Structure 1
Amino acid sequence: MRRTFVISDIHGEITAFTQLLNQIDYQPGIDQLILLGDYIDRGQDSKAVLDKVMLLHEEGAIVLKGNHEDMMIKAFTSGEERPWRHWVDRNGGNETLRSYGFTEEQYAVSPDISFERPQLASDDLEKHLEFILSLELYKEQDDFIFVHAGVNPETSLHETEERDFLWIRDPFHNGYTGEKKVVFGHTPTKYLYKDDTNHSIYFGSNNIIGIDGGAVYGGQLNCLELPGLIPHTVKIKHDCPVQ
């Protein structure tokens, strides 16, 4: 492999994702692409992003699961109201469902009646759910660990709970002391920098590298090129959506 590219937290921003891949001149079969999750929710076309991610996976990309994909799976498989509302009402699942052509009347649930998950028929949706179920939580290499949210600094990788890989924040950011660099998304880098205007890749002094540029919040979509730790970015031009 000539180069390795790492991208995270696309969140339905298909235009920026396509622009970024073109900008880095990604060549399947020559370069290695690693995607760190959160392909869906809040953005403009989650379905198109998942279509693209599946194609890239078929061409050799390493594709990991994010917490938003996990929320989507739980919403469709638990049979309970809370996971459905947590995803659809609070975390942008409504925008994802709209990208498949569903309307609010089809996916909304009433608090006044007993919960029954909406029956949403879509071959593309079923295909994407099956794909998400197959995704791994992390990828370990000689010098790097790639993961969506981070690792638990108090346990080994093999002992780490799935929730930590998908959701962990401060204990990892502040407590990681491992020798391998951990490249992660999940937490927009403006929070790591403590600067609302700084969406660039975050290089922590404790071998953590955050690449989530908050694209869906009006920031930027970042890419980290290895082995040279070279940043690439596409600025997001549309207005910041409501969180």
Structure 2
Amino acid sequence: MTFISHTGNGRRFVVSDIHGCLKTFRHLLENRLQLTSADQLFLLGDYIDRGESNAGVLDYILRLKTENYQVYPLRGNHEEMILGAWQLHKNQMPPHIKFADRLWDAPDLLDATGELPDTYVAFFKSLPYFYELDNFYLVHAAIDFKHPRPFTDYSTMVWEKQFSYNPGPKIVVHGHKITPLPEIIKRVENRSLIIPLDNGCYYGLAKFRKGLFNFGRQKEVGNLCCLNLDTFELVVQENNE
């Protein structure tokens, strides 16, 4: 079990589902939060796909870690998918299936030879499925507390969208399922035992605003949400790509 203690006097922030929206992510951290190396930043997965700066988001996270920021990234289903595609590729997928075809929404991750750089592979492989804190569990999608061994049920942690049971006492903060902003605000204000943070940041991108990907309630989605675990302040950053 990956337990992270609260160090020093720094703040603790949780951010979910960045999906390649680098400008929005950087603005949130650098301008809204003014993140310092004393703070702890927890990221709930899905750093890639949908947006235009997938490699940029990964490079930024890796740079923060190199500069000794306390960054704790988790694995999301999109990281799980790209690792699966990479492993199939290395095990000789049929020749008509190109690895690049498995990255239809994040082609900028590939190098000039069409390969996934070792740096990204190592990063994806290093990602844990959840963190335990003093009063919280952090996970990408859900935790099945009815499972006989819930903290080994990794599939639920990255894929499950139906999450309605938490016996407590620790609060679970998760992403993965796009949740309207009023619902997120309500859960935070009530300090619910299950708090969703994914507000579909990428729906703020022009290519997702209309047509097939129209959420139907556009004013309630399209933001990158950040929760301060100590004050329960919710910082909502509109997509500004």
Match of 2:47, SS?
coil
Q: CA deviation at 1:217?
A: 1.4
Which residue of 2 is the match for residue 187 of structure 1?
Answer: 177
Q: What is the distance in 2 between the residues matched to 1:198 and 1:88? A: 37
Structure-2 change in CA distance of 1:181 and 1:88 (3 Å) = farther
Worse overlay, 64-73 or 157-166:
157-166
Q: What is the distance in 2 between the residues matched to 1:186 and 1:97? A: 21
8 Å CA contact 1:187–1:210 kept in 2: the answer is: yes
Structure 2: any 5+ residue segments left out of the alignment?
1-8, 205-221
Worse overlay, 181-190 or 11-20:
181-190
Which residue of 2 is the match for residue 111 of structure 1?
Answer: none
Which residue of 2 is the match for residue 40 of structure 1?
Answer: 48
Structure 1: any 5+ residue segments left out of the alignment?
103-118, 191-196, 239-243
* Runs of 4+, deviation exceeding 6 Å: 84-87
The sequence identity of aligned pairs, in percent, is: 32
Q: What is the distance in 2 between the residues matched to 1:221 and 1:154? A: 30
Which residue of 2 is the match for residue 6 of structure 1?
Answer: 14
Number of residue equivalences: 206
Superposed CA RMSD:
2.6
1:120 to 114, 123, 146: 114
2:187 to 196, 200, 203: 203
Worse overlay, 202-211 or 13-22:
202-211
1:123-165 residue CA offsets vs partner (Å, 9 max, x unmatched): xx22111111011110001210011111002036654311111
- With normalisation by structure 1, the TM-score equals 0.76
Paired residues for 1:133-152 under 5 Å:
133-152=125-144
Q: What is the distance in 2 between the residues matched to 1:186 and 1:147? A: 9
Which residue of 1 is the match for residue 4 of structure 2?
Answer: none
Which residue of 2 is the match for residue 234 of structure 1?
Answer: 237
Which residue of 2 is the match for residue 114 of structure 1?
Answer: none
- With normalisation by structure 2, the TM-score equals 0.76
Paired residues for 1:1-243 under 5 Å:
1-22=9-30, 23-28=32-37, 30-58=38-66, 59=68, 60-79=70-89, 80=93, 93-98=103-108, 100=110, 120-121=114-115, 125-155=117-147, 159-170=151-162, 172=163, 174-190=164-180, 198=182, 200-201=184-185, 203=187, 206-218=192-204, 219-237=222-240
Match of 1:179, SS?
coil
Structure-2 change in CA distance of 1:159 and 1:144 (3 Å) = closer
8 Å CA contact 1:72–1:87 kept in 2: the answer is: no
Q: What is the distance in 1 between the residues matched to 2:177 and 2:52? A: 20
